[in-house]
Structure 1
Amino acid sequence: MSDNWGRWGADDERGAANLLTPDVVLAAVSSVRQGRVLPLAQPISGSTSGPGAGRVPHLAGRPLPQHFMSVDGGDYAAGARRLQGEIGLSDDALVLSPHGTTTHIDALAHMWRGDALYNGHPADRVRSYGATRCGIDKLGPLVARGVLLDVAAHRGIPHLPADTLVDAALLAEVAGAAEVEPRAGDVVLVRTGWPQVFRGEPARYQDAQPGLDGSGARWLVERDVVAIGSDNAAVGALDPGCTFHGTLDEDVHLLTLWRAGVTLIEMMGLEELSAAVAEGGRADFLFVAAPLPIEGGTASPLTPLAVL
């Protein structure tokens, strides 16, 4: 697999998102047939004073989202008017680390090898002050044709076993059965069903997970996709101990983010989309997502949308 370094110039920090030309976006809009909009994110749930975050799939050891109000009944309400009972005004705060705890999109600065980021940018530009190269603020919005490759549904099971490696042959098989071929400029979503495990066995969820292997990642990158999303924690498969599967040369994050500039969307909520695709018989749709323009961010929380 060849990489995309230099393909869009030496200064490029957007990677495969450059494929989203006006013509590609217009072609993607033709995938809308019903006008039905489905959210593809898991909820951000939690409070400094409650156990809510524990109900949402997350990886152990990662800081859970903290969503709180400092005064019950409404923060910073309008002074005397609040005292008189005329109006109320609520305000809140949210503190989160997206990696491992929320639906999010990885920036190209999230992973690198040696001393270079994607496209040869120096890795020493990623420090505590943020990523001054390849940060999430450089990506911009994604409006593309979306394709669901529902591996769990293809196999007729609620979720894949933990040791399932979604390889190139399996992706091709699922795409063929769905009568859809990933093409340049697509966002491809791979459903494993793994979040269902968290409801009854959180510890099992936080260990080995099914996902792409290196050949599966290469298969998608070779088709010039813009981004790859999944409902597991890392898009790629996780071995026991919650470690990335394969050698460094087979690592899904390095094959996509680092070599190809293809972004990853992790911890998605794909159950409603899976049901809708099964009902409608069409696995393609319009995909819309806009990361927060966090200057120097290595990721952004995200609410992707599928427009059927």
Structure 2
Amino acid sequence: MFSGFALMMGAVQAGGGHQHMALPKVEGTRPVVGTSPWGPTDEIGRLNLMTAQSQQEVMAQVDASKVYDLSVDYFIGMPGWHAAGDPRYQIWMTHTPNGTRVDDPLSVGSDQNDHVSYTGTAFSMYSHTGTHIDALNHFGLNGKIWNHFEANKHLGDRGWLKTGAETIPPIVARGVLLDVAAARGVDMLPEGYRVTREDLQAALKAQGTHLQEGDVVLIRTGRMKLYEKAEQYMSNPPGLGMDAARFLVEEGGAMVLGADNLSFEAFPSEVAGNYVPVHTYLLAQQGAFILELLDLEALASDKVYEFAFIGASLKLKGADGSPMRPIAMPLLSKNSKR
């Protein structure tokens, strides 16, 4: 049975001699949301590990000669999470050059409409569409989210009053790619494959990479190779297991976790009574953010395993997630295999 976590800060010894901040395990108890070690008003969880000093340190090592775009394209028919009835991505024209000539919506006359071509579009989608970040209110436990904010007190008709997507600061941090598919000698992990602690350790060893507290850790399953084929991409994808998630946070010190799949975790659930235990563990119990639908193929192809991760999401007030267009810039002293 899944282990709960105490309502206080703890430290777990990890590789490299670093002490990593994590809420300690209490075996045999029912899981509850985490209490922030950064105080009762904290809304950004482990992003508190990002400081002016840590940002300066990683940016001082950047090789700006190549920039990797980690986001995906948005298009009608793209992969998306629709199992719970959420809307698909849609885009439509609100203005076209010919339509503007016919309708003259701004009442400027035919001469100007012939001279000035006006194009406008609108789009709609679920907040967890395409490359995006999950806010800490996306999943909770027993009516509460991270740091004991409560749905019946902090959620109104216009969204959450706490931990909304607008509270997520721009992220500038050391990023680490764990190419699990390559470490297992395959282009893409099999359907339904559950990534384990041992898989992550094997990738670290194969790459000669180590984890540091405050890292953004990105996991490549190879699933992005199917992104243009929505049905195949969505069908029983590989994902992270519980022990792997705990390893990255409690021993690796990860601040943000991401992957190239949509669900992030593997299904079916390993935990009775919780259909998304990895999400609730990371978001509600540890205050760790989740990134999904990352395009990691170029990073993997160039064997860029350590980099500056730079990303900012839309400030959607009260939302439980937001689109993001993150980039990666290699570090000067790393990635000698490129």
Query: What band does the TM-score fall into relative to the shorter chain?
Result: 0.7 to 0.9
Determine which of 291, 294, 306 is the counterpart of 2:313: 291
Residue 209 of structure 2: aligned partner:
180
Secondary structure of 1:70 counterpart: strand
Residue 43 of structure 1: aligned partner:
73
Q: Which amino acid aligns with 1:266?
A: E
Residue 252 of structure 1: aligned partner:
278
Tell me how far apart the structure 1 counterparts of residues 236 and 200 of structure 2 sit (CA, whole Å).
Answer: 20
User: How far 1:172 sits from its partner (Å)?
Assistant: 1.2
1:150 aligns with 2:182: no
Q: Deviations over 1:252-272 (max 9, x none)?
A: 101110111100001111112
Q: Counterparts in 2 of 1:232-271, with a 5 A limit? A: 232-239=261-268, 244-247=269-272, 248=274, 251-271=277-297
Tell me how far apart the structure 1 counterparts of residues 193 and 271 of structure 2 sit (CA, whole Å).
Answer: 13
Does the 8 A contact of 2:222 with 2:260 survive in 1?
yes
Q: Deviations over 1:143-165 (max 9, x none)?
A: 00110001112222221001321
After TM superposition, the score normalised by the length of structure 2 is: 0.79
Count of aligned pairs: 290
Secondary structure of 1:85 counterpart: helix
Deviates more, 1:8-17 or 1:90-99: 90-99
Go from structure 1 to structure 2 and tell me whether the alpha carbon gap of 1:261 and 1:89 turns closer, same or farther (over 3 Å shift).
same
Secondary structure of 1:264 counterpart: strand
Determine which of 89, 111, 120 is the counterpart of 2:139: 111
Q: Counterparts in 2 of 1:4-23, with a 5 A limit? A: 5-23=35-53
Deviates more, 1:24-33 or 1:254-263: 24-33
User: How far 1:188 sits from its partner (Å)?
Assistant: 0.5
Deviates more, 1:202-211 or 1:6-15: 202-211
Q: Counterparts in 2 of 1:77-226, with a 5 A limit? A: 79-80=108-109, 83=112, 85-99=114-128, 101-124=129-152, 125-199=154-228, 202-222=230-250, 223-226=252-255
- Structure 2: stretches of 5+ with no match in the other structure: 6-21, 24-33, 331-338
1:303 aligns with 2:318: no
Tell me how far apart the structure 2 counterparts of residues 60 and 10 of structure 1 sit (CA, whole Å).
Answer: 35
Residue 49 of structure 1: aligned partner:
none
Go from structure 1 to structure 2 and tell me whether the alpha carbon gap of 1:24 and 1:204 turns closer, same or farther (over 3 Å shift).
same
1:67 aligns with 2:91: yes
After TM superposition, the score normalised by the length of structure 1 is: 0.86
Identity %: 30
Is the radius of gyration larger for structure 1 or structure 2? 2
Tell me how far apart the structure 1 counterparts of residues 214 and 246 of structure 2 sit (CA, whole Å).
Answer: 15
Go from structure 1 to structure 2 and tell me whether the alpha carbon gap of 1:30 and 1:78 turns closer, same or farther (over 3 Å shift).
farther
Q: Deviations over 1:86-143 (max 9, x none)?
A: 22232221211132x3111000000000022101111322343201111111111110
User: How far 1:189 sits from its partner (Å)?
Assistant: 0.4
Secondary structure of 2:109 counterpart: helix
Q: Deviations over 1:47-82 (max 9, x none)?
A: xxxxxx22x322344421111112333766783376
Pairwise CA RMSD? 2.3
Q: Which amino acid aligns with 2:319?
A: G
Does the 8 A contact of 2:224 with 2:297 survive in 1?
no
Q: Which amino acid aligns with 2:296?
A: L
Go from structure 1 to structure 2 and tell me whether the alpha carbon gap of 1:82 and 1:307 turns closer, same or farther (over 3 Å shift).
farther
Q: Deviations over 1:181-201 (max 9, x none)?
A: 12111100001111334545x
